[in-house]
């Protein structure tokens, strides 16, 4: 019975993800799903990226969190549309949540939607949201063993942002082992080193993202 229930949940999610994908294609909106554990720096990266991309694209952000709207409040400072999703107990966003959040946005006005998923290194990688690209953010303070321990997130992602690189000298994070583990499980993944607090490395990631959005949307 439990297996059947789980199968039904996943099938329903796939149906809604397909609907999201159709909607994004209709409006020519590129959608990026950002995943990480709590505190890796997703919001801080967006705070650096949005000002760099605002002159090029019309953007919105869907913020996922268990409780509070604190991240959404930080993003709203940059004057882009933000929709907050509070899951309350769920450790990830699903396609239905995103579908309802999208209803709050003026899709005709958008080129790019960032989905900031709930902080978790397990469940978000399992659920298709209808996005074009998944990326995973990892901070050096979490340890270089995380790709080996949580491989799905890195296998499913088009890019990995290694954040808080400015703190590398104060950790025992082994860059060589990190790169080997990630490349062994996903040879095509792009890796960007950033320090969101200073903006280090954000320009390179923004250029990569700009190329993806332009190629997909033909803008």
**Where are the domains positioned within the chain?**
2-217
| CATH homologous superfamily of 2-217 | P-loop containing nucleotide triphosphate hydrolases (3.40.50.300)
Q: What pLDDT sits at residue 8?
A: 73
Residue 174 pLDDT class (50, 70, 90 cuts): very high
Residue 172 pLDDT class (50, 70, 90 cuts): very high
What is the Cβ-side half-sphere exposure of residue 89, based on CA atoms within 13 angstroms?
0
Class of residue 23 by CB neighbours under 10 A (exposed 0-12, middle 13-18, buried 19+): middle
List Cβ<8 Å contacts ≥24 apart for 76-83.
Answer: 77/47, 78/47, 78/50, 78/51, 78/54, 80/50, 80/54, 81/105, 81/106, 81/110
3-state helix, strand, coil in the chain (%, to 5): 45, 20, 35
What percent of the chain is modeled with pLDDT above 90?
Answer: 87
Which 3 state secondary structure label does DSSP give 27? Answer: coil
Mean pLDDT value across residues 193-204: 98
Alpha-carbon gap, residue 124 to 201, rounded angstroms? 25
What percent of the chain is modeled with pLDDT above 70?
Answer: 95
DSSP 8-state assignment for residue 195: B
Which residue matches tokens 């705070």?
47
Residue-wise pLDDT tens digits, 74-113: 999 999 999 999 988 788 999 999 999 999 999 999 999 9
8 Å CB contact between 136 and 160: yes
Which 3 state secondary structure label does DSSP give 142? Answer: helix
Residue 7 pLDDT class (50, 70, 90 cuts): low
Q: What pLDDT sits at residue 4?
A: 53
Spatial CB neighbours of 89, under 8 Å, sequence gap ≥ 6:
66
């Amino acid at each position: 019975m439990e297996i059947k229930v789980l199968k039904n949940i996943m099938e329903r999610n796939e149906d809604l993800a397909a609907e999201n994908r159709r909607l994004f294609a209709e409006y020519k909106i590129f959608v990026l799903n950002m995943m990480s554990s709590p505190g890796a720096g997703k919001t801080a990266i967006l705070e650096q990226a949005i000002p760099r991309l605002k002159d090029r694209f019309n953007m919105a952000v869907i913020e996922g969190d268990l409780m509070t709207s604190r991240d959404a409040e930080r993003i709203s400072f940059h004057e882009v549309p933000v929709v907050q999703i509070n899951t309350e107990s769920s450790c990830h966003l699903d396609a239905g949540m995103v579908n309802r959040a999208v209803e709050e946005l003026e899709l005709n006005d958008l080129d790019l939607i960032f989905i900031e998923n709930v902080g978790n290194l397990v469940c978000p990688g399992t659920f298709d949201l209808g996005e074009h690209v998944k990326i995973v953010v990892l901070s050096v303070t979490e340890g270089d063993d995380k790709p080996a321990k949580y491989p799905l997130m890195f296998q499913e992602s088009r890019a990995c942002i290694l954040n808080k690189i400015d703190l590398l000298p104060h950790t025992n994070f082994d860059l060589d082992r990190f790169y080997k583990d990630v490349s062994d499980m996903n040879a095509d993944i792009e890796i960007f080193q950033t320090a969101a607090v200073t903006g280090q490395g954000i320009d390179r990631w923004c250029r990569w993202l700009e190329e993806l959005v332009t190629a997909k949307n033909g803008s």
